């Protein structure tokens, strides 16, 4: 079974005093809440962007620095295909439970802009004795693109805001037919990596 996955393409442009917004319709429901929140802070962000010192990211953990809240989303399971007992809701619930237990100061809120996205991709063995698949977990944070800044001395032509993947981990697993245990173990393993790096970035 192959699940669709497509990274968001969200663009917010500031043209004079007018905001122009474009995003992929397929992710409209996913991004709507975060987008509205983002627009509330966008004018102040654009106005003060030039006043904020740009600091290079020196380690993978630093991309997680300052995250105080996020929302969790698992990919939709394709209708009509076997899921081996795995559901979108179960994956989301497991992720939320683990983060609540291991990172109690991190708020999980459906209104948050920062997104933790879990994508489970499954395929059946030809022998029908089991299945194999992979799990991909991504953290997407609001990021600003400096258009035109291709070289140190290049002038910035405009600012664009997007939800960009700043952290990603994946794992390949196998499991028995109709047994979601393998997926649960994979979710735990990848999220444990996320938790360890989150703690380093936010001691």
pLDDT tens digits for range 113-143? 999 999 998 876 655 667 788 899 999 999 8
Determine how many CB atoms are found less than 10 A away from the CB of residue 64: 20
- Indicate whether 59 belongs to any domain: no
- Indicate whether 20 belongs to any domain: yes
Counted domains in the chain: 1
- Indicate whether 5 belongs to any domain: no
Q: What is the pLDDT of residue 176?
A: 78
- Indicate whether 127 belongs to any domain: yes
Q: Tokens 């105080």 map to which residue?
A: 68
Q: What is the pLDDT of residue 101?
A: 97
Q: What is the pLDDT of residue 130?
A: 77
- Indicate whether 2 belongs to any domain: no
Residue 203's contacts (CB-CB under 8 Å, 6 or more residues apart) are none
Q: What is the pLDDT of residue 2?
A: 30
Low-confidence ranges of the chain (pLDDT < 50): 1-49
- Indicate whether 139 belongs to any domain: yes
In this structure, what are the phi and psi dihedrals at residue 81, rounded to the nearest 5 degrees? Answer: -110, 150
In this structure, what are the phi and psi dihedrals at residue 100, rounded to the nearest 5 degrees? Answer: -65, -40
DSSP string, the chain: ----------EEEEETTEEEEE--GGGHHHHHHHHHHHHHHHHHHHHHGGGSPP----SGGGGGTT--EEEEEEPPPPTTS--TT--HHHHHHHHHHHHHHH-TTSEE-TT-SSEEEEEEEEEE-TTSSEEEEEEEEEEEEEEEEEET--STTPPP-EEEEEEEEEEEEEEEEEEETT-THHHHHHHHHHHHHHHHHHHHH--
- Indicate whether 1 belongs to any domain: no
Domain housing 133: 11-50+65-201
Q: What is the pLDDT of residue 51?
A: 59
- Indicate whether 56 belongs to any domain: no
26: left (phi over 0), alpha (psi -120 to 50) or beta: alpha
């Amino acid at each position: 079974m192959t699940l669709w996955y497509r990274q968001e393409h969200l663009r917010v442009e500031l043209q004079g005093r007018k905001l122009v917004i474009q995003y992929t319709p397929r992710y409209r429901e996913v991004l709507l809440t975060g987008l509205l929140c983002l627009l509330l802070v966008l004018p102040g962000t654009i106005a003060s962007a030039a006043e904020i010192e740009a600091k290079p990211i020196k380690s993978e953990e630093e991309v997680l620095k300052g995250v105080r809240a996020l929302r969790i989303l698992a990919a939709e399971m394709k209708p009509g295909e076997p899921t081996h007992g795995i559901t979108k809701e179960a994956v989301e619930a497991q992720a939320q439970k683990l983060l609540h237990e291991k990172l109690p100061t991190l708020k999980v809120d459906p209104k948050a802009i920062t997104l933790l996205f879990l994508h489970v991709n499954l395929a059946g063995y030809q022998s029908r004795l089991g299945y194999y698949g992979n799990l991909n977990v991504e953290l997407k944070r609001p990021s600003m693109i400096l258009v035109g800044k291709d070289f140190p001395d290049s002038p910035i032509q405009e600012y664009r805001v997007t939800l960009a993947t700043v952290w990603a981990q994946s794992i390949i697993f196998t499991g028995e037919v109709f047994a979601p245990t393998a997926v649960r173990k994979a979710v735990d393993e990848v999220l444990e990596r996320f938790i360890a790096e989150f703690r380093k970035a936010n001691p």
